Amino acid sequence: MKIEYWSDYACPYCYIGITNMKTALARLGLLEETEITMKAFELNPGYEESEDASILELFATKYGLGLDQAQERLDSIRTMGEEAGLDMHYDTARKSNTFDAHRLTKYAEETGGRELANQMSEILYRAYFVDNQRLSDREVLLGLAEEAGLDPEKVRDMFSSQRFSKEVWEDEMIAHRNDVRSVPCFIVGKYMIPGAMPAEGFENVIERIIKEQE
């Protein structure tokens, strides 16, 4: 089975969604044989960071919520994360431009294939949501790249160039052509599965797809 999904490292539902998808695949005994490929999708392309604005304030502004309502939404995201087995601290995350993080994932894929790219993705998600590291800080990214087994000096050279910028933009163009407006969005065969449903939901959908294919 092949699964492609569009995601952004600053999207809590993406971290929860891919975690639940992998849990569902593991329950069905399909995780090891499934090819999972992440496609880049920037929720806030060109985002310029502000040290003054908290995630709570940015969340409230983006969705037109009061601070109390925004905090309730953040609390619900934390609960969703806990149900997925994740210790997420989204409310204290350091809002980041994720373009270089997506480039790093593309570099990992070229260097070590899909498996290394998926490992790099897991490290980046954890760094942002659990450890609250700023993913736009290239020194942070170099340390995360080294954790994945990549040569940090080669990664530094990559960042100094425009390499993998085109690949990130192409992912986003394909998303636009396929009417992908929000993430996560999973493509399983001919089916599009939007959102971060629970593992049981993914499990039911995958079983139904397999039966239809048979």
pLDDT band, residue 51 (cuts 50/70/90): low
Give the strands of the sheet with 191-194, arranged side by side: 35-40, 2-7, 185-188, 191-194
pLDDT band, residue 211 (cuts 50/70/90): very high
Residue with tokens 């992440």: 38
Residue with tokens 């659990």: 130
pLDDT band, residue 47 (cuts 50/70/90): confident
pTM: 0.95
Rounded Cα distance, 109 and 209, in Å: 28
CATH number at residue 29: 3.40.30.10
Cα 84 to Cα 21, 48, 159, distances in angstroms: 10, 31, 33
Per-residue tokens: 85: 């087995």
Cα 128 to Cα 137, 159, 199, 213, distances in angstroms: 11, 19, 22, 37
Cα 78 to Cα 65, 90, 184, 204, distances in angstroms: 18, 7, 17, 24
pLDDT in tens, 74-119: 999 999 999 999 999 999 999 899 999 999 999 999 999 999 999 9
Q: In the chain, how many domains are there?
A: 1
Q: Which domain holds residue 198?
A: 2-213
pLDDT in tens, 135-177: 999 999 999 999 999 999 999 999 999 999 999 999 999 999 9
